[in-house]
Amino acid sequence: MTNTSDTRPAEGTAQAPRRSPLQRLMRLLPLIAPVLLWTVPCSVLLYTGQHWPLPVTLAGTVLFAAGLVGMPVAMMRGHGRRQQDGAAIVGDTLLGTSWVLFTWSVLLGVLLRLALTVAGVGGSQDRARIVTWAVLGVTAVLLVWGYAEARRVPRVRRIDVPLPRLGAGLDGLRVVLITDTHYGPLDRARWSARVCETVNSLEADLVCHTGDIADGTAERRRAQAAPLGTVRAAHGRVYVTGNHEYYSEAQGWVDLMDELGWEPLRNRHVLLERGGDTLVVAGVDDVTAESSGLPGHRAHLAGALSGADPDLPVLLLAHQPKFVDRAAADGIDLQLSGHTHGGQIWPFHHLVRIDQPVVAGLSRHGTRTLLYTSRGTGFWGPPFRVFAPSEITLLVLRSPDGPTSP
């Protein structure tokens, strides 16, 4: 793979991006979310006609109150300035638990109670208690399963991607995508090594990491990220920053990935040549980079494509799917992204959709541009994945002039 772009992130200023509806909502969430996540299940499980014995009601209320107070405290100590991993684990686990409990308290508290009433099952108290046990049972099952899903080595998802401008010499090019590994408070060094072993088994021509490597600085998470240095690819390994790098000294992550043998594509490109044909592999900083205040960090597509032959097909790495609007305007052939986690814990994908055009999978934008959005390789925060499985993606690029391959 030939490095033809010495263009570093262009200096200069640009208008700060307007806050999206989701970003505005996120500013209020720390205030309203804990209250809703804990008081709604408390009400549904204890105070909607169950008439539990007083000790049960009191114990349950105290437990929910402890969650309401303890979760934000643990989150602040774990993800604030102190960066205490133990507190982060507690806070993240409580967050995931409360979200699942809240979701199914609402759904079963309405739908199951209605179904039981229509079916004439028992009296009001009986139906209320059935709902309580159903919510607790479903929540327990989903949390155990979701934890196992989050901690497992992701399944490989293979997809053929037709690119009309791809030369015949590049037909069948194997591109492996990993993203959102989110090495963090839970030590996942062994998991990281197994992920890299799986990637190596795919015999990739190109391996891409589209950001959000970790939560924490490169120095702090180095042991978990170190296996990335063992990844093999015939034509190179490339990386772009995600938004979480900018919470944790992004330049340190860029330097570490460079040290591990990956090519950081900070608003620049390289050329991948095979069989007499060429593919431009470009990358941009995350769209949040400019607001980080780090000199030279911003998403700059023109800089990434500077000097590239406009007649060549372009594979673009951009952490967030919403960058596809700019990619489509510039006629990019294929953009690879992560960021969304597929929602991670159902039904959070509905909130993700407010901020992003796509939650997961292959989609078309404009007349030429394809976007592939990965559900992510790891998990952020709560160690659960519910109806949003992680993935390692094998994209096989197809040329209209190439032979049909199995």
Residue identified by tokens 């008081």 is 39
- Residue where one domain finishes, among candidates 99, 119, 150: 150
Q: Which residues, including other chains, have CB under 8 Å from residue 29's CB and lie 6 or more apart?
A: none
pTM of the complete model beyond 0.85: yes
Q: Which domain holds residue 125?
A: 21-150
22 pLDDT above the threshold of 80: no
276: domain CATH number is 3.60.21.10
Between 80 and 359, the higher pLDDT residue? 359
Torsion of CA 106, 107, 109, 115, to 10 degrees: 160
Position 293 scores a pLDDT of 87
**Dist CA 229 CA 213 (whole Å):** 13
- Residue where one domain finishes, among candidates 122, 150, 178: 150
pLDDT tens for residues 282-313?
A: 999 999 999 988 998 999 999 999 999 999 99
Domain tally for the chain?
2
Residues 271, 323: one domain?
yes
Position 80 scores a pLDDT of 87
- Residue where one domain finishes, among candidates 150, 175, 206: 150
Residue type, 225: A
Contact 286, 246 (CB under 8 A): yes
pLDDT tens for residues 307-333?
A: 999 999 999 999 999 999 999 999 999
Position 45 scores a pLDDT of 97
Assess if residue 406 is contained within a domain.
Answer: no
Residues 130, 178: one domain?
no
Instruction: Please report which confidence band the pLDDT of residue 32 belongs to, taking 50, 70 and 90 as the band edges.
Output: confident
Burial of 156 (0-12, 13-18, 19+ CB in 10 A): middle
